[in-house]
A and B are shown apart, each in its own frame.
Chain A
Amino acid sequence: MLEIEFCDVSKVYNPGLFKPRVRAVSELCLDVIQGEVFGLIGPNGAGKSTTIRLLLGLLRPDVGKILYRGRTSEIRSIQGELGYLPETPYLYDHLTLEELLAFCGRVSGLSPAIVAQRGVRLMDRLAIIDARRRPLRTFSKGMLQRAGICFALLHDPSLIVLDEPMSGLDPVGRKMVFDLLTDLKQRGKTIFFCSHILSDVERLCDRIGIMNRGRLLQIVGRESFVSKGRDMLHLEVERLDELQNRTLRPFVTALDDECSSTIVSFPATDLPRVADKVQSMGVKVLGSRNERLSLEDLFMLTVKAD
């Protein structure tokens, strides 16, 4: 069953008088299936946060529509089952974490006993239980992020929307949040999130969407993503000049110049052909690796090609 459907959604911002309009999201078609973890990645200004705000009903699409659970375009119908964490959670400075969670419980229709029970469990899990009676203005950035996660998850939502959940966290905090998200995934929750930490996205997501300049360029499923990279081979050769570059390009998938070398990527089955060509050009091979294409490689290739 589809949890969220973006049907040809476009959004243009009007930054003010005499300023050009900004196309934040363009013809976005995207489905998120119930129970999956969907990651949205892209460079800054790609339209990820706008997509999340459209999903939450904070922005209205100029064109197209967003369907929730395949039947309604009213966010209100699923709001009780939605948990959201913004990129930088600005919480109420003078409230304590306990008061914030009590507020969350009251508006979500939870009894005080359940709020206390779930609150303690979440705060304990995210290691902020000792700070529960401190005003939020005394929290560090990482603690605020964890407090924001508690606020998003207290009512045990089935759809979780996270904008940069690992932002501002130290390695220990990142591990805690990562484990928490893995648990939620195992419990069948639908998670839709944006992140710049590609290794986390790669490990956690069932499907990954790559956005650039407001457009969704590619959706890569976990299986297809792994198999796509599995039979790729990468040779590190000395830096190719323009002529060598042009000669080799028809035989390979990608040529990426690094500081003093060039990375030549091609399907493993093409190895004899590429090796012959490299040898005939008299180019020195510095190294090779046959690991699968990392998400970072794929992301860079996709964005560069756009």
Chain B
Amino acid sequence: MKKLLALALITFYEGIRNRSVFGIAIFSMFVFGLNVIVAGFFMRDIGKVTIDMNLSGLSVAGLLLVFFVVVNLMAKDIDRKTVHLVLSKPITRVEYIWGKYLGVVLFVFVSMAVLFMFSCFTVILVKGMHSDYFAQFSWTVFSLAALFVFLKIAVLGAVVVLFSTLTSNSFITLIFSISVFIVGTSVEDVLFFLRSGLAAQDVAVSKTLWIVIEVVSYLVPNLAVFDYKISAAHGLMPAWGQLGLSLGYGAVYIVVLLVVASCVFSRREFN
């Protein structure tokens, strides 16, 4: 555990001191600030728009952190052969994967926690300006929705770790991770469309394509299960069972991805 924490700590430092983080933070603050300005432009549902914009801003910031900082943290270690130095120390390859992931999660958590605080400040500001539109607003639901945005980013972090073990090229890791994100966020809608029978009216879906989509839906994480924006915007508390399922799904998915990554990494050769 000591080794995992040591590795997590240097990964965290590497991440948090990356200059891209400042850029992402400034971008997020711009989005939150914009929210304060544009909120007044809406005739109604100002509360809903505010919550929606804040959670979306938080989500985009998380995605930028994963795709531009975490990919570098993982893939560059292998690309630049820093991993040779680390693995020459008494650290097993499995410890390396878990330690790096812990560091990545810590980095994403701290960064998103700071951004969440700014987001809360924005909400307080807009709420003060247009308090009538925040009658149903709940800090608990808003915080839970933000927590699940973090969980989505943590799952994507595990995806990045897995792809980093499969390839030495950071660009390939980035492309595959973005693909997983796109498929992961849309797979539920695609399946719903196909199962609803609406598809049959518009397009003919072959049996093979149907099987492929079914298989992909099981392989790729369904990121839509972490989306509680609508609940937060309406101040509706989701059922605890549903939250538990989403949390369990995310945790199991992360563990599975890291176990696969550990197996691949243990067998990998470093030229």
Contact = CB atoms under 8 A, between A and B. Distances in A.
A56 B269 contact: no
Interface centre among B9, B89, B269, B271 (most CB of A within 10 A): B89
A99 B13 contact: yes
Interface stretch (A35-43, A103-111, A176-184): A103-111
Contacts of B3: 106-107
A31 B173 CA distance: 40
Given A59-B270, A92-B14, A94-B14, A86 B84 contact: yes
Interface stretch (A77-85, A124-132, A281-289, A295-303): A77-85
A109 B2 CA distance: 9
Nearest to B3: A107
Contacts of B82: 90-92
Contact of B92 (A13, A76, A95, A109): A76
A89 interface: yes
Contact of A13 (B2, B5, B9, B271): B271
Interface in A114-150: 135, 148
Contacts of A6: none
A79 B92 CA distance: 10
B10 A92 contact: yes
Interface residues of B, number: 25
A99 B14 CA distance: 11
Interface string A62-79: 000000000000001001
Given A53-B271, A59-B270, A95-B13, A103 B84 contact: no
Given A60-B269, A92-B14, A93-B14, A148 B85 contact: yes
Contacts of B18: 94
A58 interface: yes
Q: DSSP class of A's interface residues: helix, strand, loop or mixed?
A: mixed
A103 B6 contact: yes
B271 to A, nearest CB: 6
Interface string B86-108: 01111110000000000000000
A79 B88 contact: yes
B44 interface: no
Contact of A59 (B2, B5, B91, B269): B269
Contact of A79 (B5, B6, B90, B271): B90
A174 to B, nearest CB: 21
B269 A86 contact: no
Q: How large is the interface on A (under 10, 10 to 19, 20 to 34, 35 or more residues)?
A: 35 or more
A59 B267 CA distance: 10
Contact of B270 (A53, A89, A91, A93): A53
Contacts of B6: 103, 106-107
B112 interface: no
B13 A86 contact: no
B62 to A, nearest CB: 20
Contact of A95 (B10, B85, B91, B271): B10
A17 B4 CA distance: 37
Given A90-B80, A106-B2, A99 B10 contact: yes
A108 B90 contact: yes
A93 B269 CA distance: 24
A93 B14 CA distance: 7
A225 interface: no
Given A58-B87, A106-B2, A90 B10 contact: no
A56 B84 contact: yes
Contact of B14 (A13, A53, A95, A107): A95
A95 B92 CA distance: 22
B248 to A, nearest CB: 32
A192 interface: no
A76 B94 CA distance: 13
Nearest to A78: B90
A64 to B, nearest CB: 15
Given A86-B81, A86-B85, A107-B89, A59 B14 contact: no
Given A53-B271, A107-B2, A107-B90, 20 more contacts: A53-B84, A56-B88, A57-B87, A58-B269, A59-B270, A82-B88, A84-B85, A84-B88, A91-B85, A95-B10, A95-B14, A99-B13, A107-B6, A107-B7, A108-B90, A109-B2, A148-B85, A151-B85, A152-B88, A161-B88
Interface of A: 13, 53, 56-60, 76, 79-80, 82-84, 86, 88-95, 99-100, 103-104, 106-109, 135, 148, 151-152, 161
17 contacts: A13-B271, A59-B270, A79-B88, A90-B80, A90-B81, A94-B14, A94-B18, A99-B10, A99-B13, A103-B9, A104-B89, A106-B3, A106-B6, A107-B7, A107-B91, A108-B89, A161-B88
Interface of B: 2-3, 5-7, 9-10, 13-14, 17-18, 80-82, 84-85, 87-92, 269-271
